[in-house]
Chains A and B, each alone.
Chain A
Amino acid sequence: MVAFLVVAATSRGDNPPSLPETAAPEPITGNPAVNAPGSETPRHDPFTPYDPGPPGTKTWSYKDLSPGERALADQSAKSNAGWDKVQAGYAAAVKERAHQATGDSAAHQLGIVDDLGNTGVVR
């Protein structure tokens, strides 16, 4: 899985697809599913920290570390350099997959079960 995404990031990084930032909303032909009141599950923003616990819960910060632990933390931080390209590759691949999933979903709602891209293509 990781190998696939890294390859995708490498091969598509030179010519990023001109896709919009978010996939278009998918129309549905039935009624949307709605949670019962009180059963809603709020979606957590993946780029914010999770709640460590009730107020007063002890959390660790950099200044709480010993010199040896700080050295390890510093080394780890340095090794993260250059990950922005990998993250961008993941983001591009995920965005492309989201658009493909949107297309596949729409094709299924139109009753098409075969690969629409290959249908009728004379090679």
Chain B
Amino acid sequence: MRRVLLIGAVLAASSCNATTNQHVTFAHLAFDVPGDWSHYDTNHRGVSTEVWSPSGNDEKESLTVIRTELAPVTAQGDASTLSTLLAQAQAGLPESRVSARSSVSTKMGFSGARVDLDYLPNGLKDRYHRIHVVLVDGKSLVHVLYTAKTPDANLNAFNLLLASIHEGEG
């Protein structure tokens, strides 16, 4: 009986881990990501980058959060310039095809621009889907990139992160 209870507890814990979100802090930001996603960070020259991806990951999904302090003039520019620069930044990607452009306002008060596209990463034979959002946080820019070979139709992880991202203590 005790063994059954122990197995049940382990199963419940693992199930909980797969469905419960993690609340994380990074580069003065805080946001939520799915519980079974893990990450690695890089930090150099005023740019902090954190890449999240799920375990398994047959869909080859990832979420990237970049906080950059290298573009204070752009951060304080107008929304039209930000949107134009974001769209043009995709022109350098191989065989990129932009499917949508829009402005973005998050629940936590950030605003910015979004572009949806498909492109062919260097050295690969399959096209990837990319959603690139850039948000203004004072003199800093916060980039949120969702990249996937087979994108999640509901964009659950991307929407979770975007809905929760805010200035944090990290």
Among B65-123, those with CB < 8 Å from A are 66, 68-71, 73-75, 77, 81-82, 84-95, 119, 121-123
Q: Is B57 engaged at the interface, CB distance under 8 Å to the other chain?
A: yes
How many chain A residues sit at the interface, stated as a range, is: 20 to 34
Contact for B68 among A24, A110, A123, CB less than 8 A? A110
Q: Is the CB of A111 within 8 A of B74?
A: yes
Q: A29-B74, A114-B49, A117-B119 are in contact. Are A103 and B93 (CB under 8 A)?
A: yes
**Interface on chain B toward A: helix, strand, loop, or mixed SS?**
mixed
Q: State in angstroms the CA–CA spacing of A110 and B77 once bound together.
A: 11
A106 → chain B closest CB, angstroms: 4
**A100 adjacent to chain B (CB < 8 Å):** yes
Q: Are A113 and B141 in contact (CB under 8 A)?
A: no
Which of these, A29, A111, A117, contacts B94 with CB under 8 Å? Answer: A117
- Nearest A residue to B75 via CB reads A111
When the two chains form their complex, are residues B121 and A112 in contact, meaning their CB atoms are under 8 A apart? Answer: no
Spot the interface stretch: B9-17, B28-36, B143-151, B162-170.
B143-151
Indicate whether A107 reaches chain B with its CB closer than 8 angstroms.
Answer: yes
Chain A interface helix/strand/loop/mixed: loop
What separation, in Å, do the CA atoms of A30 and B121 have in the docked complex? 32
Cβ distance B89 to chain A, nearest Cβ, rounded Å: 4
Report yes or no: A27 in contact with B68, Cβ–Cβ below 8 A: no
**Chain B contacts for A102, CB-based, 8 A:** 88, 91-92
User: A110 to B128, Cβ gap below 8 A?
Assistant: no
Question: In whole angstroms, how far apart are the Cα atoms of A113 and B45 in the complex?
Answer: 9
Q: Are A122 and B89 touching (Cβ within 8 A)?
A: no
Bound form: Cα–Cα A113–B69 in Å: 11
Given the contacts A117-B92, A121-B147, A122-B61, A111 and B119 also touching, CB distance less than 8 Å = no
Residues on the B chain within 8 Å of A111, using CB:
46-47, 66, 68-71, 74-75, 140-141
- Which residues A18-50 have CB closer than 8 A to chain B? 24, 26-27, 29-30
23 contacts between A and B (CB under 8 A): A17-B95, A27-B88, A29-B74, A29-B77, A99-B92, A100-B91, A100-B92, A103-B91, A106-B84, A106-B91, A107-B92, A110-B68, A110-B74, A110-B89, A112-B47, A112-B89, A113-B45, A113-B68, A117-B121, A118-B121, A119-B147, A120-B146, A123-B60
Interface residues of chain A, those whose CB is within 8 Å of chain B, are: 17, 24, 26-27, 29-30, 99-107, 109-114, 116-123
